[in-house]
Amino acid sequence: MTQTLTPILAAHPFFHGFDARTLDLVAGCARNVQFEREHYLFHEGEAANAFYLIRSGKVALETSAAPHRPVIIETIEPNEVLGWSWLFPPYRWHFTARAIEPVHALLLDGACLRAKGEADHDLGYELVRRAAQILMQRLQATRLQLLDMYYVDTD
């Protein structure tokens, strides 16, 4: 079963450049998942143990904004990745994720990835390095969103 997932892993941009052996190793933590429209991948506060590689569909990251309706702060789309909370304790989700289009994804088990990373530090380093790179891009993008750059005071 894991062997058929290796090529899918290899096709995802996050894992470009990994050798076959490492991919097989990681594939051991992976399984195919899918979510129907309006179904939740996870809720804020739940135990975070997954790293998602989105293959198709669209995921909305949202947060409750009571007394207002929840606000979508980001959408994650095909060839992107979702989930960092598995990297560091307390391993809890910071946002809620909902499929707003039917989603096909590869789910990588967080504990499994952490264990393999501890055992093989080269793998561990590479995983964290790539995660950091994407986190940096997301941070930059989020900062731009924070700036509310299209806002003009029309009063």
Residues 17 to 46 in contact with other proteins, rule: CB under 8 A: none
Closest CA to 93 of 23, 153, 41: 41
Q: Assess 100 for contact with other proteins (CB under 8 A).
A: yes
Return the amino acid letter for 88: F
Q: Assess 102 for contact with other proteins (CB under 8 A).
A: no
Euclidean distance between CA atoms 91 and 111, whole angstroms? 10
**Residues 45-74 as x/- pattern, contact with other proteins by CB under 8 A:** -------------x-xxx------xxxxxx
Q: Assess 136 for contact with other proteins (CB under 8 A).
A: no
* φ and ψ at residue 3, rounded to 5 degrees: -60, -35
Euclidean distance between CA atoms 117 and 9, whole angstroms? 17
Q: Assess 101 for contact with other proteins (CB under 8 A).
A: yes
- Residues within the interface to other proteins (CB under 8 A): 58, 60-62, 69-75, 77, 79, 98, 100-101, 140-142, 144-145, 147-154
